């Protein structure tokens, strides 16, 4: 069979003009290019430098404010009023250490999971690191490989490249020698080679993605919400601080140092400096924890994203089942032992002609690759590799008798017309969870529009899939966490449904053949919403199903390992790839399970929920402090009295009611699924609670001043006691539901404050002294009344958050605060 040179057959192996270096570069030529810097020096996706980490943690807006105030206190003294500056130094150091730990974890895991492309050098195929590719290297390609650098095709064996991630064009492009390939595309069928013409930052995808792919904490609702809060606080802080400076200077005109100290004491607690720190530390610790489970987080917001997931789409092969398969039987559709022997020979030849066999073809190769000397008498004239889009592979063979014919191996329900008698056997085998391939002979050329048009079915290859031992337990975990699992596979719907049913997945008894999916987007979204198992899904349909689920307001995670999953992984809110999957899937996924363990996913989800739920929990603490600090400053400005506290008082209050408890609460387990509306939920408690705390404190302070206006130390001590009791009550609310360690934490903070009040050298150091009986007990009574009011506010806030969400889907839980889970 011949073909015009300008249109070679899709599967025919074609070579361009003889390259200058048919054996690839020599070692000397590689060394020369390395010395000249013509290497693929693309920055590591998952990491930023130590210098960038230090800069991000040190040079912040609030560190600058605190640093200036600390310098002022160093001038006016005493040093105990500058404790807040030492706390900031410690916080910054902790943040840097934790992020550097996370960087090292990410870098080491990225090295493990990095693609190792094959290049031809000195006439041999060798694997090199991505950064080891040099200009003019001959890079080899097979199905599932990502095109690492730009280049020109020199060899093509049915080479089909998917460029949709770069161009948006959904159809794969058949490449011939002389054609250009762009980095960022990937191979969906066939094999070939190309010469690298642009490497490193000059490559197409590198120019597009260098900045977008760097280690970052942005592009997340959490970070955006915190930035919004901090921006608002900055706007509020400036005028309030100016008013406070003027008022304290007016009140303490005889003692400017005291005026400065009390001004600083009013400004420092307005700054929620620990909130940003704890966010960074929580993410960093999450990365380290997941790293211990061989889970590579390529983009940190993915941790947050998984916490918000309510739907996880699973590709059956490689996710619910292991990658490998076993041939169970070859069932001839035509009687006679000679027929079976011939089929085995054909299968062995077909599998041997595939340069990069997929798991199904590898199983065929293992079973029939050594079918005997008769197999060697068959001659391959043309080969068309398997494609997920067409669901079959084929060869044009010359048999030992000299007869030529085309052979196809693929999905029976794609190759055979509806109603064919053989499909009854296929359905019966599929219902047992077995995978079935049809082998048939066709007189139609393989490069014809429909080679299966006159196919004669000759045999069924029955494959047994290996279920993952942890798949059932993982699906049960998702069910208990209100995360809906959907199986989206290219296999037969009946077979996929049987596998899913064997894992007790709800809804698996009604699988849907994706060839019957509606074209209308609204109908597609309805179908995707109510169906659990989809079979015979093309790569483009996987992408459309993910989009349809997102259109229904779902947050979708997609798992996969094959090249047919790339488009859906890219479009999903969170893409999770298996470490042994194709280079292309690992490249587009935000999370890579390096040990291929599906059972790691619950740990990833739990880690995300811990980070997001706990940051939301502690954010309330920090913002309560900001609200009551601003309110106290305004009340002081309007009433023209000395600010109730010195910086040392603000430090001990912040440490015992916010800083230390927040650190422990931020690292505790939390299973509540994160939902949109972070800022609204946090402020709904923080604003009224802060207002109550500020009002109660100023009331106790004002009553104490009315009794002894000249004893500022006693008045400050009463205000400190009152604010501590109200703030510890807020902590007790935020820490719910209680566990033994949370109760111990609250008790320890109360005990520490009691020591500050009763141990002489501590009370002298912090300048606290409760005078008499009436004022301290008045402060306690005011704090108790404020606490009861806080309980009413919390009840109303919780009821509003637990109210049914009109937008929620049936069967999904209504919104509830993350703080209500443990």
- Please list the active-site residues: 315
* Distance set, CA 791 to CA 175, 298, 807, 816 (Å): 69, 42, 29, 17
Helix pair angle (600-639, 256-267), 10° resolution: 140
Tokens of 334: 């035509």
Strands (E), 711-784: none
Q: What is the CA angle 777-782-787, rounded to 5?
A: 120
* Distance set, CA 698 to CA 241, 247, 693 (Å): 18, 16, 9
Residue 74: count of CB within 10 angstroms of its CB = 12
Host H or E run for residue 689: helix 678-707
Strand pairing partners for 558? 313, 575
For 466, the 3-state DSSP assignment is strand
For 66, the 3-state DSSP assignment is helix
Tokens of 775: 């004022």
DSSP-assigned letter for residue 657 = I
Instruction: For residues 657 and 697, give the distance between their C-alpha atoms in angstroms, rounded to a whole number.
Output: 15
Q: What is the CA angle 685-620-714, rounded to 5?
A: 95
Instruction: For residues 29 and 18, give the distance between their C-alpha atoms in angstroms, rounded to a whole number.
Output: 19
Per DSSP, the residues of 485-505 read: EEEE-SS-HHHHHHHHHHTT-
Instruction: For residues 518 and 527, give the distance between their C-alpha atoms in angstroms, rounded to a whole number.
Output: 8
Instruction: For residues 67 and 82, give the distance between their C-alpha atoms in angstroms, rounded to a whole number.
Output: 10
Q: Residue 27, class by beta-carbon neighbours within 10 Å (0-12 exposed, 13-18 middle, 19+ buried)?
A: exposed
Tokens of 152: 């020109």
Q: What residues contact residue 668 under an 8 Å CB cut-off, 6+ apart? A: 610, 614, 742, 822
Instruction: For residues 424 and 409, give the distance between their C-alpha atoms in angstroms, rounded to a whole number.
Output: 18
Per DSSP, the residues of 301-335 read: HHHHHHHH--EEEE-TBTTTEEEEEEEEEEEESS-
Contact 585, 561 (CB under 8 A): yes
For 151, the 3-state DSSP assignment is strand
């Amino acid at each position: 069979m011949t073909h015009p040179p300008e249109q070679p057959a899709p599967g025919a192996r074609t070579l361009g003009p003889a390259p200058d270096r048919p054996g690839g570069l020599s070692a000397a030529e590689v060394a020369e290019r390395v010395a000249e810097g013509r290497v693929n020096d693309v920055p590591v996706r998952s990491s930023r430098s130590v210098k960038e980490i230090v800069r991000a943690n040190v040079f912040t807006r609030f560190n600058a404010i605190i640093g200036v105030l600390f310098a002022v206190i160093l001038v006016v003294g005493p040093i105990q009023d500058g404790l807040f500056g030492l706390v900031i130094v410690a916080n910054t150091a902790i943040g840097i250490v934790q992020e550097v730990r996370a960087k090292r974890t990410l870098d080491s895991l990225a090295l493990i999971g990095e693609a190792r492309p094959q290049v031809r050098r000195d006439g041999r195929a060798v694997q090199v690191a991505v950064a080891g590719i040099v200009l003019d290297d001959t890079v080899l390609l097979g199905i599932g490989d990502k095109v690492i650098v730009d280049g020109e095709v020199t060899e093509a064996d049915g080479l089909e490249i998917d460029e949709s991630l770069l161009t948006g064009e959904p159809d794969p492009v058949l490449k011939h020698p002389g054609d250009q390939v762009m980095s960022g595309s990937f191979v969906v069928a066939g094999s070939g080679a190309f010469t690298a013409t642009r490497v490193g930052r000059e490559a197409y995808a590198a120019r597009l993605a260098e900045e977008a792919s760097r280690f970052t904490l942005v592009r997340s609702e959490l970070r955006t919400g915190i930035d919004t809060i901090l921006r608002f606080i900055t706007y509020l802080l400036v005028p309030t601080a100016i008013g406070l400076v003027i008022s304290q200077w007016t009140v303490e005109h005889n003692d400017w140092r005291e005026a400065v100290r009390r001004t600083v004491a009013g400004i420092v607690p307005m700054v929620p400096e620990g909130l940003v720190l704890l966010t960074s530390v929580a993410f960093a610790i999450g990365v380290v924890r997941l790293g211990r489970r061989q889970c590579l987080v390529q983009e940190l917001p993915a941790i947050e994203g998984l916490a918000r997931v309510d739907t996880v789409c699973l590709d059956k092969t490689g996710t619910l089942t292991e990658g490998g398969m076993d041939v169970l039987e070859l069932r001839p559709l035509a009687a006679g032992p000679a027929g079976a022997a011939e089929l085995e020979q054909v299968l062995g030849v077909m599998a041997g002609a595939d340069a990069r066999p997929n798991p199904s073809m590898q199983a065929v190769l293992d079973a029939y690759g050594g079918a005997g000397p008769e197999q060697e008498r068959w001659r391959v004239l043309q080969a068309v590799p398997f494609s997920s889009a067409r669901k079959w592979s084929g060869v044009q063979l010359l048999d030992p008798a000299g007869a030529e014919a085309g052979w196809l191996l693929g999905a029976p329900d794609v190759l055979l017309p509806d109603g064919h008698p053989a499909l009854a056997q296929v359905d019966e085998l599929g219902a047992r969870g077995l995978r079935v391939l049809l082998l048939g002979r066709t007189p139609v050329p393989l490069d014809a529009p429909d080679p299966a048009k006159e196919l004669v079915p000759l045999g069924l290859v029955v494959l047994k899939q290996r279920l993952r031992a942890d798949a059932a337990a993982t699906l049960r975990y998702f069910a208990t966490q209100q995360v809906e699992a959907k199986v989206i596979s290219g296999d037969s719907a009946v077979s996929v449904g049987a596998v899913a049913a064997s894992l007790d997945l709800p809804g698996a008894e009604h699988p849907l053949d994706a060839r019957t999916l509606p074209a209308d987007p609204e109908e597609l979204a309805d179908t995707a919403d109510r169906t659990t198992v989809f079979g015979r899904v093309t790569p483009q349909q996987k992408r459309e199903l993910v989009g349809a689920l997102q259109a229904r307001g779902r947050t979708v995670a997609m798992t996969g390992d094959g090249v047919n999953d790339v488009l859906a992984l890219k479009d999903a809110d969170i893409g999770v790839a298996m470490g042994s999957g194709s280079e292309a899937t690992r490249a587009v996924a935000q999370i890579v399970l390096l040990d291929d363990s599906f059972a790691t996913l619950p740990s990833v989800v739990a880690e995300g929920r811990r980070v997001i739920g706990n940051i939301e929990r502690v954010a309330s603490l920090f913002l309560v402090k900001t609200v009551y600090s601003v309110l106290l400053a305004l009340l002081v400005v309007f009433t023209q009295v000395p600010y109730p506290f010195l910086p040392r008082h603000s430090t001990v209050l912040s440490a015992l009611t916010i800083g230390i408890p927040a650190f422990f609460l931020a690292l505790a387990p939390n299973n509540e699924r994160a939902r949109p509306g972070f800022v609204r939920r946090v402020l709904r408690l923080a604003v009224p609670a802060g207002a109550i705390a500020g009002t109660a404190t100023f009331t106790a302070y004002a009553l104490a001043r009315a009794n002894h206006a000249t004893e500022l130390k006693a008045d400050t001590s009463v205000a400190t006691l009152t604010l501590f009791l109200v703030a510890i009550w807020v902590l007790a609310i935020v820490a719910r539901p209680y566990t033994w360690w949370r109760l111990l934490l609250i008790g320890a903070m109360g005990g520490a404050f009691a020591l500050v009040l009763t141990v002489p050298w501590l009370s002298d150091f912090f300048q606290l002294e409760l005078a008499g009986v009436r004022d301290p007990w008045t402060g306690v009574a005011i704090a108790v009344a404020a606490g009861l009011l806080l309980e009413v506010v919390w009840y109303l806030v919780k009821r509003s958050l637990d109210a049914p969400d009109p937008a929620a889907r049936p069967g999904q839980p209504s919104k509830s605060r993350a703080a209500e889970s443990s």
